[in-house]
Structure 1
Amino acid sequence: MELKHLAIRELLKNADETQATISNRGGPVDIQAPMAQRLFDTLVSAYGRRAALTHGSFTVEDPDSHPFITNFRQFISGTPDDSDFLSLCDVAMEQLAASLSSESASAATGGYVIFCHYSADVFDYLLVALVRDKNGVAFDGNLHPTQVIELDLDKLHQAAKINISTYKEGTDSYLSFIGTKRKGDITHYFSTALGCSDVVPARQATSELIRATEDFCRKNQLQDKQEAIVDDVVGYLSKQRSEKQSAYLPDMDEIFAQHIPPEQAESGTETFGSFANSEEYQVSHEFQPHTSTINNYTKIKAKADNWQLDFSKRSLGELNSTSDIQFDPNTNSLIIRRLPTKVVDQLREALDD
């Protein structure tokens, strides 16, 4: 990762106050300083560990009324220099102070706002994070314990990360932001100030969740349980949709826990929630299931006197299509293609008998 710009500012507000103010302290930080790089690395790592990210984009409703969005567009329109970066930070601080002063954020407190402009792999990012300090213990020159104040970087209270590269490409989802882990309880003042909106299409979130389910099974040697796990995930999504409820990633972890042996779960280093919430899949902590996408994964079950069928709708297609199971309306018959070797052997053995 290459750090391009770094700035630290301070928002002042106690929980019993109604007005947030911007401190005169802080400003640009020399990115060549060793501690600047360490701060940046720790911050990005802490953000990457969060498994309750909401993915989305800037609000599409009158985006020009959001000063941060307007200034962000100006910031990325050319090759931003230090002055452009600090101007963007100033606008963000003004919006954060205004949002933090709203009635809905009355219980919220201020903190240190860290702005990072950096590149990783082939992407450019802007990360804005609110952190607070905590009391720590250190030794003085005589090895006597003394109190120090240190940043609590492991506990990001609010943060938003914008993928500048994908934003320029015009994709649907190019930002993520942190909310709380309790269902339906996301603190909005931070994301509102930056114009963030949870607008990842329900179709995309649903299909990516199922794709992540299949990939997670393959990654963790759960292929023999994959079909059952996908069925449970689809069943959960169907239930939430029928009850007009959101789907939640922590519920997915509970589904996987029913299928993963305890010894394998203890040795695992990643939960499904964090896997699906990652940059590759971008499934939000909370999202609305998409009906037609769910229907594509539901099963067709049929039974006669001496046979029964049980397969996913997405496996079915018309005659001469690429689907594994094809329906021939002329003969009212099914053609099953690409049979696994094990099934072929069973069929041949049955015929030999």
Structure 2
Amino acid sequence: MEINKVIVHELIKEKQQDIQPTNYRNAVLDRENEAVVKLLEGVIDIYGTRHNSAHYGTFVAGDGRGAFPDDFEGYRGLDGPTDDQFIALTRSAMGRLYDKASSSQFATGGYIVFSDFVSQQERFFLMAMIKKTPGLTLTEDLEPEELEQLDLSKLHQAAKINFSKMSEFDNASAEERRELNYLSFISSGSAKSASGYFVTALGCAPGTAPARATDNLLRESKKFFRENEGLRGSREDFVSELVGYLTEKEESGESVKLSEVGHIVTRNIPNALADQAEALLESYMERLNSEAVAVPAEFPVSKRMLNRYTRITSAGDSWKFSFEKSALGEDEAADVYYNRVDGTVTLTRIPESMDEAIREALDEFGQDEANDNDTDE
């Protein structure tokens, strides 16, 4: 990670109390300071994890947009922004947060971390609220003593903007934009509640992108179970249950929730891996909610994409055949190749274990035939 700029301001507001003047820091923090680096890494590490899952979206395009999105657009266009220009943008955000928080008796404040940084060759702008948590320490005389420290286990509210994805969105067609997102946000409640003021203050709007979310959920889930040796035996049952869950959500018009998908994952972890279940679930959630995969915490199902993962099943007197529609094609490279002229089906890239079983069966059949011929003679 490369830190370009980082600063912290404090929004002072207790529940059911009037908001207090904002505590602004006037200079950026030293990006080489170990404590500063540790603070930012702590925030980034828990962003998009199981208990800090993110929604994905864009800025509001009409009413409710506010000043921050346009201020960010100006900042994004700068070639090597100065510290003062960075601080001005953070103050713009703090102004909007102050306005929204002051209008709700139930809103609370906290420390707001702002940073312009680069991670895995992608540039981001991050805004995250963290709070103090009570703790204990020991004095030199080994006496317990209360202290307050920053809670880096939970992001109460946060937003992160991806510069390159925003540029991709700008250059996309209206149709393509429906499946593109360039920002993500974490909120302790819905955007309409008091706890969601952070999201509305910054002009964030959840994007639907149902086709991409549905496809990524199914594809990456299958991949996760396939890549973990202990989970491979449960893969088919898991995918079947997941598809069933998505089908129910599509038919009822309800949204998919990653938290509910997590329960399906847990049910399909073998007893032999019970001691690893928590770690496996954490890894699964972090993968799906990551910047690269971007399956949001909640989204509507794409019926078209779900249909690709439903199965075609048939059986004869001595065989049974089942495969996902997405594997079917009229190209010889397809996993299940259908020749429309001949009316034949060919399996390609069969698993090594299946190939070995077929060869063994053919060898046994050939040996049985040879033995029958010897007997006839």
Corresponding position of 2:358: 344
Corresponding position of 2:333: 322
Corresponding position of 1:38: 38
Task: Describe the shift of the 1:332–1:98 C-alpha distance in structure 2 as closer, same or farther (beyond 3 A).
Answer: same
Task: Describe the shift of the 1:130–1:27 C-alpha distance in structure 2 as closer, same or farther (beyond 3 A).
Answer: farther
Task: Describe the shift of the 1:196–1:101 C-alpha distance in structure 2 as closer, same or farther (beyond 3 A).
Answer: same
Corresponding position of 2:213: 205
Shift of the alpha carbon at 1:347?
5.5
Equivalent in 248, 251, 264 of residue 257 of structure 2? 248
Equivalent in 182, 185, 189 of residue 174 of structure 1? 182
Corresponding position of 1:80: 81
Shift of the alpha carbon at 1:315?
1.9
Shift of the alpha carbon at 1:175?
2.0
Indicate yes or no: 2:312 matched with 1:300: yes
Shift of the alpha carbon at 1:177?
1.4
Shift of the alpha carbon at 1:241?
0.7
Corresponding position of 2:102: 101
Indicate yes or no: 2:113 matched with 1:114: yes
Indicate yes or no: 2:310 matched with 1:311: no
Comparing 127-136 with 208-217, greater Cα deviation is found at: 127-136
Q: C-alpha root-mean-square deviation of aligned residues, in Å? A: 2.8
Whole-Å separation in 2 of the counterparts to 1:51 and 1:342: 44
- Name stretches of at least 5 consecutive residues in structure 2 with no aligned partner: 173-179, 369-377
Q: Deviations over 1:249-307 (max 9, x none)?
A: 12222222232223314135241223211222111111111101110010112234444
Equivalent in 208, 216, 220 of residue 224 of structure 2? 216
Indicate yes or no: 2:204 matched with 1:196: yes
Corresponding position of 2:271: 262
Corresponding position of 2:238: 229
Task: Describe the shift of the 1:347–1:62 C-alpha distance in structure 2 as closer, same or farther (beyond 3 A).
Answer: farther
Shift of the alpha carbon at 1:200?
4.6
Helix, strand or coil for the counterpart of 1:159? strand
Shift of the alpha carbon at 1:196?
1.7
Corresponding position of 1:16: 16
1:145-164 pair list within 5 angstroms: 145-164=144-163
Helix, strand or coil for the counterpart of 1:161? strand
Helix, strand or coil for the counterpart of 1:339? coil
The higher radius of gyration belongs to: 2
Q: Which amino acid aligns with 1:109?
A: T
Comparing 330-339 with 216-225, greater Cα deviation is found at: 330-339
Shift of the alpha carbon at 1:145?
4.6
Shift of the alpha carbon at 1:216?
0.9
Task: Describe the shift of the 1:294–1:26 C-alpha distance in structure 2 as closer, same or farther (beyond 3 A).
Answer: same
Q: Which amino acid aligns with 1:37?
A: V
Corresponding position of 1:333: 344
Shift of the alpha carbon at 1:50?
4.7
Comparing 81-90 with 262-271, greater Cα deviation is found at: 262-271
Shift of the alpha carbon at 1:190?
0.9
Equivalent in 277, 285, 296 of residue 284 of structure 1? 296
* Contact kept in structure 1, 2:56 and 2:207, CA below 8 Å: yes
* Contact kept in structure 2, 1:57 and 1:174, CA below 8 Å: yes
* Contact kept in structure 2, 1:112 and 1:131, CA below 8 Å: yes
Q: Which amino acid aligns with 1:53?
A: S
Shift of the alpha carbon at 1:176?
1.8
Scaled by the length of structure 2, the TM-score of the pair is: 0.82
Scaled by the length of structure 1, the TM-score of the pair is: 0.87
Q: How many residues align?
A: 348
Q: Deviations over 1:26-53 (max 9, x none)?
A: 3333334343223223222333545442
Helix, strand or coil for the counterpart of 2:35? helix
Task: Describe the shift of the 1:310–1:134 C-alpha distance in structure 2 as closer, same or farther (beyond 3 A).
Answer: closer
Comparing 132-141 with 276-285, greater Cα deviation is found at: 132-141
Comparing 86-95 with 115-124, greater Cα deviation is found at: 115-124
Task: Describe the shift of the 1:66–1:342 C-alpha distance in structure 2 as closer, same or farther (beyond 3 A).
Answer: farther
Whole-Å separation in 2 of the counterparts to 1:329 and 1:31: 63
